[in-house]
Amino acid sequence: MFIALDAMGGDYAPQSNIEGAIQFVKEFNIGVYLVGKKDILEKELEKYNLPDNLPLKIVNAEESIEMDEAPSIAIRKKRKSSMYIAGKLVREGKARAFVSAGNTGAAMAISKFVVGAAEGIERPGIAIAFPTKKGKPTVLIDAGANVDCKPTHLVYFALMGHTYAKEMLRISDNPKIGILSIGEEEGKGNDLVKETYPLLKKTKLNFIGNAEGRDIFTGDFDVIVCDGFVGNVVLKTSESLGTIILDMIKEEVKKSFISKIGATLMLPALKRFKKKADFAEYGGAPLLGTKGTCIITHGRADGKAIKNALKVASEFEKRHFNNKLKENIKNLIPEELQTIKE
């Protein structure tokens, strides 16, 4: 098995990407294509004293996608970019998974349009595992891949979320699914929610009704579906609020000497908490519903995060995620919404 890594994407590329890839390859003996400018990558690899038989291969790509470039540039204009070529390796079956820490919008576009959607899936969706009070995560899908959605898209997000929560995160054998809304009762919400609700009830998923914003962190739901606009706002609000609350606590603490001593004593606990709340620790977010596995990680990914992302990608393949997805479409989706014809 080979994974195609966009070696030029991310704030610390290519150094961190190469560092992470080497660690991953050594530990798991799964192949990685390092896609990027050949001379730069070769020079970087020379720094390591690597054995010859390591399944680590450079695939040359002349261009790179910048962090502020439009996704349309990535898929239409810069077809010699490391990201584009990495995606193409998956499309052509030369690699099984695509991993990028580069420009998120571009990486999503490459995943959707170069790697392409999986059988039966119209709209791939980003799944984020949020830490919860109960210890086990809650999956929010879609966290930003699709801004204006139809009810059927949300039904398929629920199905992908179910498959991810069950097969990959092993949260539950029959994950509890909710739809993000305002108000708990059926009939509350916007038009999209009201139209999706009866469709979700018709599936064989364990749909338990409306979830509210507060339910993302309680652990009462295993999967919460929403359109990618709302999901992305929730994701960015939560990431930022977590950081800001810690900053505000620090500010308050500074005001008194006694508090400062207290904070010093609390430091190990605060660090453990920070690690728990750091969404990036989860090893990047998968874009579910593409032909191969696509993992998109934070731009600030270090070597460890890159290694984690590669590991997550390999697990998706080892557990045959897309086969399970296809089976679930056939088994859990009602006939009128069925996309798989035999």
Q: Kindly state the DSSP code that residue 118 receives in the 8-state scheme.
A: P
Closest contact distance (angstroms) between CB of 122 and a copy of itself is: 18
Interaction residues for a copy of itself, span 244-303 (CB under 8 A): 244-249, 252-253, 255-256, 258-259, 261-270, 272-273, 276-277
Closest contact distance (angstroms) between CB of 291 and a copy of itself is: 25
Q: What is the DSSP string of 295-340?
A: EE--TT--HHHHHHHHHHHHHHHHTTHHHHHHHHHHHHS-GGG---
> What CA dihedral angle connects 185, 189, 194 and 198, to 10 degrees?
-30
Closest contact distance (angstroms) between CB of 81 and a copy of itself is: 20
Closest contact distance (angstroms) between CB of 11 and a copy of itself is: 17
- The yes or no reply on residue 195 touching a copy of itself (CB under 8 A) is no
- The yes or no reply on residue 144 touching a copy of itself (CB under 8 A) is yes
- The yes or no reply on residue 242 touching a copy of itself (CB under 8 A) is yes
- Spatial separation of the C-alpha atoms in residues 97 and 292, rounded to whole Å: 5
β pairing state of 206-211 and 176-180? parallel
- The yes or no reply on residue 76 touching a copy of itself (CB under 8 A) is no
Closest contact distance (angstroms) between CB of 76 and a copy of itself is: 16
Closest contact distance (angstroms) between CB of 87 and a copy of itself is: 21
Structure tokens at 193: 């929610």
- Spatial separation of the C-alpha atoms in residues 312 and 306, rounded to whole Å: 10
- The yes or no reply on residue 133 touching a copy of itself (CB under 8 A) is yes
Between 198 and 262, CB nearer to a copy of itself: 262
Are 306 and 56 a contacting pair, CB within 8 Å? no
- Spatial separation of the C-alpha atoms in residues 17 and 83, rounded to whole Å: 13
Between 190 and 323, CB nearer to a copy of itself: 190
The side-by-side arrangement of strands in the sheet containing 138-141 is 56-60, 31-36, 2-6, 97-100, 293-296, 285-288, 125-130, 138-141, 223-225, 176-180, 206-211
For residue 32, the one-letter residue type is V
Closest contact distance (angstroms) between CB of 229 and a copy of itself is: 4
Buried b / exposed e along 316-329 (16+ C-beta atoms within 10 A): bbeeebbebbbebb
- Compose the 92-121 pattern: x for residues touching a copy of itself by CB under 8 A, - for all others: -------------x----------------
- The yes or no reply on residue 340 touching a copy of itself (CB under 8 A) is no
Residues that bind a copy of itself (CB under 8 A): 105, 131-133, 144, 147-148, 180-183, 189-191, 193, 212-218, 226-230, 232-242, 244-249, 252-253, 255-256, 258-259, 261-270, 272-273, 276-277
